[in-house]
Structure formats: structure tokens, C-alpha cells
Amino acid sequence: SLLQLVYPYDFRLTEKEKTSICYLSFPDSYSGGLGDTQFSFRLRQSGGQRTTHYEDDGEYNREAPLTLQRESAHYFGYVYFRQVKDSSMKRGYFQKSLVLVSRLPYVNLFQSLLQLIAPEYFDKLEPCLEAVCNEIDQWPPPVPGQTLNLPVMGVVIQVRIPSRVDKPGSSPVKQFNQENLLPAPLVLPSIHELDLFRCFQPVLIHIQMLWELMLLGEPIVVMAPSPTVSSEMVLALTSCLAPLRYCCDYRPYFTIHDSEFKEYTTRTQAPPNIVVGVTNPFFIKTLQHWPHILRVGELRMSGDLPKQVKVKKLAKLKTLDTKPGIYTSYKTFLHKDKTLIKRLLKGIQRKRPSEVQSALLRRHLLELTQSFIIPLEHYIASLMPLQRAITPWKNPPQIRPFRQEDFMKTLEHAGPQLTCVLKGDWLGLYRRFFKSPNFDGWYRQRHKEMTQKLEALHLEAICEANIVAWMKDKSEVEIVDLVLKLREKLVRARCQHLPVKEETLQRVGLYIETIIGSLPEDLQTVLHHH
């Protein structure tokens, strides 16, 4: 495969990235089906940090949900692949792919965009891309909480960018600002949410097990008949912990040519914490030492509940024509939830649309995640120092350390059983979770937010204080020291965008001026230049 064209021309890719993108843009095992397919991949950036057009990722990442942040070390690739009969070609058909590369995980927006662009592009080639890129250049940047109208090729795509303050599980606002747009806009109900019901069709009765495996960051291989099925299943799996962020690595589609192939197939160390989607049967041999392998067939939407795969022993994976199934020796900590399956079955009998079933499924997963995470949130909030312990002239007290055993003790009276009917070994599940990258990621994020909150409370305490009274019996050295500390605090508050009111920052600034004004002139000069 050959990289024919990169647009815009100034987009820098390393040779390694170009090679990877080429291999990831085509199905790596021949599928007889001719026609158009769409799928996604995720690629590790190679060769150092590069500046992006968006210097201020910070602002977007602060306001976007954790699950939709712009990635700094990975690219997403969104592929529209076409294979058509062509007798003039040696193989008897030609294959082409149009690939959109972005740091944003907006799978619905970018795949819808490709559906508009790709057919035109295969027909008209480069001039078409140039025109489209000119239009996309005019699009406003994604601002969390805003609804955007994005014109391209005579169509306006309308989409809302989710925000961190959205209530989890609330459906996107339906009433868009209908500014009598003509032509009527193509409204995307979500920028990134997949049709979970369709993706999880063959494994609906195992949702519980898959949720646990994802929560614990276990290594999982998804073996699928096509990149479309593999990438949708991997993306569906990584989304099922929302609003908790899945902090491990994932590859929606992965080929044997990938630069990480050796790293993942080596038997000298345990498989990494990653979910990887593959289609080449060769992987059955090279990845059979992985602990959990999910083998799925083609997804077919039929009127009744699709055939559900069975859980099987890993030893059964030896043969080449492996039957669909979940090959694992994992025993779930929680008991199966029968009510979910009953409700989905009822939906199938009543011919409910797929999006209604998906909403049901998503709400179930959200409630499960929340039942698990709420006790952790309660406990970590209790580690914050009391507000009255924060005094203006001392460094704020430390956040107390997270002690797993102390947390376990809180579960008797405030555990998941308060919000979740599921029985099972919740304590065992927490113990395993503490060893996973997802706990680590959650804890760091919370700790960072709490540290910033403390800084903010300290600045407010300084604002309320009587500085003149404090200065009465202080030496020049102590006063100069205070000025320098306050300045440093002010700079940090602005750089880190601490949750502090602007008026508080301005008052601290005035304080600094007041203090400097009370000092001898030679010191004033030094401090003003400092």
C-alpha cells in the first residue's frame, strides 16, 4: 500500500507513522466482500512531541469530559475503505482508503464526515480534498457545551460538543438552535457514542463480565472478521466505564505490521494492560497466551436476540477455525444481572429501535460504574483537610493519604449495596481495582483537583485576612518573604487556572502592592523589578 497524498501538506508525520497509517488503513486479511466499509484505529505517536495548531489544549481539556480529551501521545485514524472490481488491475480489484487523522475521539462526527467526502473524493480526487479542507479550516474550534454548525459540501452537520459539567447519562439536548437553517442540517445525536446495542449484540449476556474486565484494565484481544467489527467492539468496550476514564491503552484495529507487534506478542513478560482488536487469523497463534480473548462473528441485526457466545476455556483456542466465544478462565466478582437481559429481550419482542435499547444498556453500565465509584468518591472527599484548618499565614495542610484498608471499612455502611441490587464479592473487586491503571488514573486526577481546590481556599483565606495587623510585629525579612510567596501563588493560580474568583486574585494583587508600599524605598525598587 502506498501513501498517495497527505493534506494539508504541512501536516508532519514521521516515516514510522506513515508506514503504520498505510497498514492500518486496509483490512489485513482478504475479505471477499467488495464495496465500502468504515472503521477506526488508534496510533502511538512516534518521535517526540510536536506542536499542534491548538496551542491551548489546556482550555479544551479542562472543560471536556475526561473521556473526550485531546490525546497528546496518540492519533486516531478514521478510515473509509473502498474495494471495487477492476479487470485492469492485477488482482482484479482496486482498493483505496481515505483516512482522517485527529487527536480527538469524535468517532461519529468524523465517520459521518467521511461518508460525505469519500465517495466524492474517489471520483474527483485532489481538488475535492482541497475544497473540503478549505471549508473545514473555517470551522470553529470545539468548545465543550456548545452546539456547532459545520458546513461541508453543501451540507451543514450540526453537533453538540459534550462538557464536563453535563449530568452523566443525560441525553444530548434535543432542541437545537433551529436558526431556520436551509438546507435542514444533518443533526448528529452524539459526537462519539456508538450504537452499543448493535456492537454488543453477541455478548449481551456477558456485559457484566466485560465491564469487570474493563474496570480492572485486563489485557483483552478482540478477534473479529473485519476491521469494522473489531474497531466498533473495542471502542464500545472502552466506553462502557463512562464517566470513569479508561486509562489503559487500546487499539481498535491492529495488524501484524504494527511497530508494537513484538511488544504485544512476546511471551517473556505478561501481556500489557490493553484492549486490542485484530482480524488476521495469524493472531490466534501469536496471542493465545493472553488471558482473555473475545472472538466474534459478523454482526447481523436480526429480529430476535442474536446468538450469544459462550464462555470457554483458553485451551480450546488451538484450532484455526475458532468458534465465537469468550475464551477466559476469569470468574466474575459480581453475580449476573438477569433483569437487564429481560428488559432487552422485551425490547426485541416489541421491536424497539436500536437507539432505545442502546440507551437502556448505557444507563445500566452508568449505574453500575456509579455504584462502584461513589463510595470511592465519598472516601477521598473525607481526606480533604477541614476548611477551618486553612489559615492565611501557614502553608495549607496536606491531603491525607488514601489508605485502602480504611476505605474497605467504610463499605459496610456506605458501600455499593446502597445504590446497586447486584450481589457478589464487591470487596474482592475493589482489591483488584486498586492494582489497575484505572484506579491510578482516577486517584491522580482527583488528587490534582483537590490540591488545586486547597490552593484556591488558601488564597481566599489570605483575602479575608487582616494583613496590616499581621505586619505590625514582623521584620522586613519576613515581609519580603511574604511578598515573594504571594507572588508565586498568584502566578501559579493563573497558570494552573485554579478554581478561584477573578476578584480574589485581584485583591491578592492589591495586597502585594500595599505591602510593598509600606517598605523602605530601596526595597520597593528591588521588589518592583524582581
Residues 346, 204, single domain; the answer is: yes
Helices (H), 204-318: 207-215, 227-239, 261-265, 282-286
Query: What is the Cα–Cα distance from 234 to 58, expressed in whole angstroms?
Result: 27
30 domain-assigned: yes
Q: Comparing 23-37, 97-111, 176-190, 413-427, which segment has the lowest mean pLDDT?
A: 176-190
**Average pLDDT for residues 72-101, to the nearest whole number?**
86
Give the other-Cβ count within 10 Å of 250's Cβ.
20
The residue among 37, 143, 13 whose CA lies nearest residue 96 is: 37
Q: Which residue has the cell 523589578?
A: 529
pLDDT confidence of residue 425: 93
- Whether residue 415 sits in one domain with residue 335: yes
Q: Is the peptide bond before 291 cis (omega within 30 degrees of 0)?
A: no
Residue 107 belongs to a domain: yes
Buried b (16+ CB within 10 A) or exposed e, 375-391: bbeebbeebbeeeeebe
Kindly state whether residues 249 and 344 are assigned to the same domain: yes
Confidence label for 175 from pLDDT (cuts 50, 70 and 90): very low
Does residue 264 have a pLDDT over 60? yes
**155 lies in some domain:** no
For the record, the C-alpha cell of 161 comes out as 460538543
Indicate the length of the chain as a whole number. 530
Backbone dihedral angles phi then psi of residue 373, each to the nearest 5 degrees: -85, -30
CA distance 3 to 90: 19
CATH number for the domain harbouring residue 343: 3.40.50.11500
Residues 77 and 273: their CA atoms lie apart, in Å, by 21
Provide the pLDDT for residue 171: 58
Nearest CA-CA partner of 102 in 113, 87, 86, 117: 113
Q: Hey, how many other C-beta atoms are within 10 angstroms of the C-beta on 194?
A: 20
Average pLDDT over residues 455-478: 84
The pLDDT of residue 286 is above 50: yes
Verify that 421 and 500 share a domain, yes or no.
no
% of the chain at pLDDT higher than 70: 91
Amino acid identity, residue 432?
R
Within a domain: residue 87? yes
For residues 199 and 231, state if they share a domain. yes
- Considering the domain architecture, whether residues 423 and 478 belong to the same structural domain is answered as no
Q: Calculate what percentage of the chain has a pLDDT beyond 90.
A: 44
Is residue 162 included in any domain, yes or no?
A: no
53's CB contacts (< 8 A; 6+ apart) are none
Determine the Cα–Cα distance for residues 285 and 278; give it in Å rounded to an integer.
12
Question: What's the rounded Cα separation, in Å, for the pair 462 and 356?
Answer: 52
**Segments in 80-193 forming alpha helices (H):** 107-124, 126-137
Is 80 found in the same domain as 198?
A: no
Q: Is pLDDT at 179 greater than 90 in this prediction?
A: no
The Cα 172–Cα 162 span in angstroms is 8
Name the residue range of residue 483's domain.
465-529
pLDDT digits (tens, 9 = 90+) for 510-530: 888 888 888 888 888 887 776
Residue 157 lies in a domain: no
Rounded Cα gap, residues 395 and 271, in angstroms:
44
- Do 374 and 329 belong to one domain? yes
pLDDT digits (tens, 9 = 90+) for 373-414: 999 999 999 999 988 888 887 888 899 999 999 999 999 888
Residue 280 falls inside a structural domain: yes
User: Cell 466474575 maps to which residue?
Assistant: 332
Examine the domain organization and report whether 244 and 116 are in the same domain: no
Measured CA to CA, the distance from residue 209 to residue 181 in angstroms comes to 46
The three cell numbers of residue 479 are 515581609
Q: What angle do CA 350, 355, 357 make, to 5 degrees?
A: 50
201 occurs within a structural domain: yes
CA triple 47-51-54, angle to 5 deg: 140
Q: Which helix (H) or strand (E) holds 43?
A: strand 35-44
More confident residue, 286 or 370: 370
pLDDT at 192 over 60: yes
pLDDT for res 433: 98
Residues 336 and 222 in one domain: yes
Same domain (yes/no): 419, 485: no
> Partners of 390 in the beta sheet?
none
Residue-wise pLDDT tens digits, 430-442 = 999 999 999 999 9
Q: Which of 68, 46, 64, 63 is nearest to 246 (CA)?
A: 68
Mean pLDDT of the chain: 86
- pLDDT attached to residue 127: 80
| From 106-115, 201-210, 299-308, 396-405, the region with the lowest mean pLDDT | 299-308
Look at the block and give the residue holding cell 488471558: 291
Sheet hosting strand 292-295, strand order edge to edge: 249-251, 274-278, 220-223, 292-295, 325-328, 310-312
Domain count, the chain: 3
* pLDDT, tens digit, 9 for 90 and up, residues 212-222: 999 999 999 99
Residues 422, 497 within the same domain: no
- Cβ(384)–Cβ(458) under 8 Å? no
176 pLDDT higher than 60: no
The per-residue pLDDT for range 115-145, each reduced to its tens digit, is 999 998 888 877 888 889 899 999 999 999 9
Question: What mean pLDDT comes out for the span 234-258?
Answer: 93
Mean pLDDT of 325-338: 91
